[in-house]
Amino acid sequence: MPISSEALRAKARSVLEANRVGSWTKPAPHLYPHLWSWDSAFIAIGLLSFDPEAARREYQTLMQGQWSNGMVPHIRFDTSIEGEYFPDHNFWGCDARVTGISNSIRTSGILQPPVHALAATRLRRAGVDLEAEDFDRLFAWHHYLMQVRDSESMGGITIVHPWESGMDNSPRWDRALFGYELKEKPEYKRVDRERVEHPEDRPGDDEYDRYVDLVLRLKSVDYRVDRLPTDYPFQIKDVAMSAMFAAANRELIPWAKELGKNSERRALEGYQLRVLDQWDKTFLSKPEAARPWYVDRDMVRGQGVELFSCAGALAVLTDPASLEAPEAWIEDLCRGPFAFSDAAKRPLRRLVASTAPQEREVFRPNLYWRGPVWINIQWLLTQGLDPESPIAKQIRQSSLELVQDVGFYEYFDPVQGTGHGTDGFSWTAALVLDWLEAA
């Protein structure tokens, strides 16, 4: 079906405007009432198409939540509201003693994927005036990721909570999350399921018990990942996070050069080499396989997390030696493990589901990160592919058609072709705007 660009653009813009709260934007009207890290980075990119000044404010509001150790937290809370989201800022307990920044800014104690430098670069290319201080913040962020989250110098970012991945209930985390004994069921009350049309599209209570348990364990060491006890059960080198890091880090190098920041430039070049030189050693699943595939590395169990998920496909964002033709590789994956059955109602044949349909035991087409198609993943894939290649064009076109037909949903069931989670979802709107702009 042809895309009606003007109508789609107008709707996308109204989604972002409706979710705007002063200088920043909520991911969705009801389910997510605070500022989320990677959401806001995507949102800033989308805002560029109609309000560059709002894009700058969005980006800087997000980065102002940065801790004094360089970490950019996954949520910056709107402290004027209460009870609308669990866990709230009181539960996290990240005050100035923990964050090293003003008590007027309240955040969570964990991180999300480092797409921030990608957003900053897009802003700068569009003529938005970012300052040397904006560079310094990004540098401190990348330095933190390498120093604290890759303390073993393996060239991959370690996450310590599924929420850090942004792909919360992905089956990638099942073994680590359920592989330890939960000594005591934590006390808490979730509110998310009251805020969506279909509560069954959200993670289960079993998962939430462990999400909360891990937060409490992290809280007991003031979220200092460098001080985690040796029996901390969830430590995984995240293949998607590491690919996004490499793509973002690459963008920072010319900015450092431009500013004459030579020691920072050298450090960034060192990070880039660290990831790329060791990529295959850390993430390549089976070196002997005909088709390369990349998986997370469970640092507690010392093994790869063998699964076909969108995370491995995001390797197109790096430039690993083992991946010769990323476009042909994605095509091949779409015909192979990521192929949808012929019974699928929509022609989503060129979209990459969060979990591959071939993973029959765990694939759930409507359940959050266990199968649905997410627009940010399709967008990230297109950033790693030649934009003129047929596969990049197909991913873009199919995504736009899906949103045009179904709406600005959080995620989409690739079998039924229906929208799930929350409607009015900001990054769906933002990235649609970016694709339309690039066309």
Active site annotation includes 192: no
Which 143-202 positions form the footprint of ligand 2M8 (CB under 6 A)? 163, 166, 168, 192
Is 223 buried (19+), middle (13-18) or exposed (0-12) by CB count in 10 A? buried
User: Residue 159: what residue type?
Assistant: I
Residue 38 engages ligand 2M8 in binding (rule: CB under 6 A): yes
Total residues contacting ligand 2M8 (rule CB under 6 A)?
Answer: 10
Residue 114 engages ligand 2M8 in binding (rule: CB under 6 A): no
Three-state secondary-structure class, residue 305: coil
Site string for ligand 2M8, 238-267 (x = CB under 6 A): ------------------------------
Nearer to ligand 2M8, 120 or 375 (CB): 375
Nearer to ligand 2M8, 84 or 327 (CB): 84
Residue pair 25/36 in contact by the 8 Å Cβ criterion: no
Nearer to ligand 2M8, 129 or 194 (CB): 194
Question: DSSP assignment, residue 173?
Answer: G
Q: Least Å distance between CB 394 and ligand 2M8?
A: 25
**Phi, psi (5° rounding) for residue 291?**
-105, 120
**Cβ atoms within 10 Å, residue 2:** 7
Which 287-326 positions form the footprint of ligand 2M8 (CB under 6 A)? none
Q: Which of 216, 221, 214 is nearest to 98 (CA)?
A: 221
Q: Which of 12, 20, 32, 404 binds ligand 2M8 (CB under 6 A)?
A: 32
Is 361 buried (19+), middle (13-18) or exposed (0-12) by CB count in 10 A? exposed
Question: DSSP assignment, residue 279?
Answer: H
Nearer to ligand 2M8, 168 or 251 (CB): 168
Q: What secondary structure does DSSP assign to 206-269, as a single string?
A: HHHHHHHHHHHHHHTTTT-GGG--TT----EE-HHHHHHHHHHHHHHHHHHHHTT-HHHHHHHH
Q: Least Å distance between CB 84 and ligand 2M8?
A: 12
Considering only 9-17, 32-40, 91-99, 349-357, which stretch makes contact with ligand 2M8 by CB under 6 A?
A: 32-40
Residue 419 engages ligand 2M8 in binding (rule: CB under 6 A): no
Residue 36 engages ligand 2M8 in binding (rule: CB under 6 A): yes
Nearer to ligand 2M8, 74 or 237 (CB): 74
Q: Helix, strand, coil proportions of the chain in percent (round to 5)? A: 50, 5, 45
Which 370-409 positions form the footprint of ligand 2M8 (CB under 6 A)? none
Nearer to ligand 2M8, 74 or 346 (CB): 74
Q: Least Å distance between CB 262 and ligand 2M8?
A: 35
Active site annotation includes 168: yes
Residue pair 395/379 in contact by the 8 Å Cβ criterion: no
Q: CA 66, CA 68: separation in Å to the nearest integer?
A: 7
Considering only 35-43, 120-128, 231-239, 305-313, which stretch makes contact with ligand 2M8 by CB under 6 A?
A: 35-43
List the beta bridge partners of residue 284. 294
Question: Out of 238, 410, 413, 434, which one is annotated catalytic?
Answer: 410
Rounded to a whole number of angstroms, the distance between the first and last alpha carbons of the chain is: 16
Residue 135 engages ligand 2M8 in binding (rule: CB under 6 A): no
Question: Out of 150, 168, 296, 298, which one is annotated catalytic?
Answer: 168
List the beta bridge partners of residue 411. 420
Q: Least Å distance between CB 21 and ligand 2M8?
A: 14
Q: Least Å distance between CB 272 and ligand 2M8?
A: 25
Q: CA 410, CA 395: separation in Å to the nearest integer?
A: 17
Three-state secondary-structure class, residue 353: coil
Q: Least Å distance between CB 28 and ligand 2M8?
A: 7
Residue pair 414/385 in contact by the 8 Å Cβ criterion: no
Token pair belonging to 138: 């990004």
Q: Least Å distance between CB 36 and ligand 2M8?
A: 4
Which positions are annotated as active-site residues?
Answer: 168, 410
- Sites of contact with ligand 2M8 (CB under 6 A): 27, 32, 36, 38-39, 74, 163, 166, 168, 192
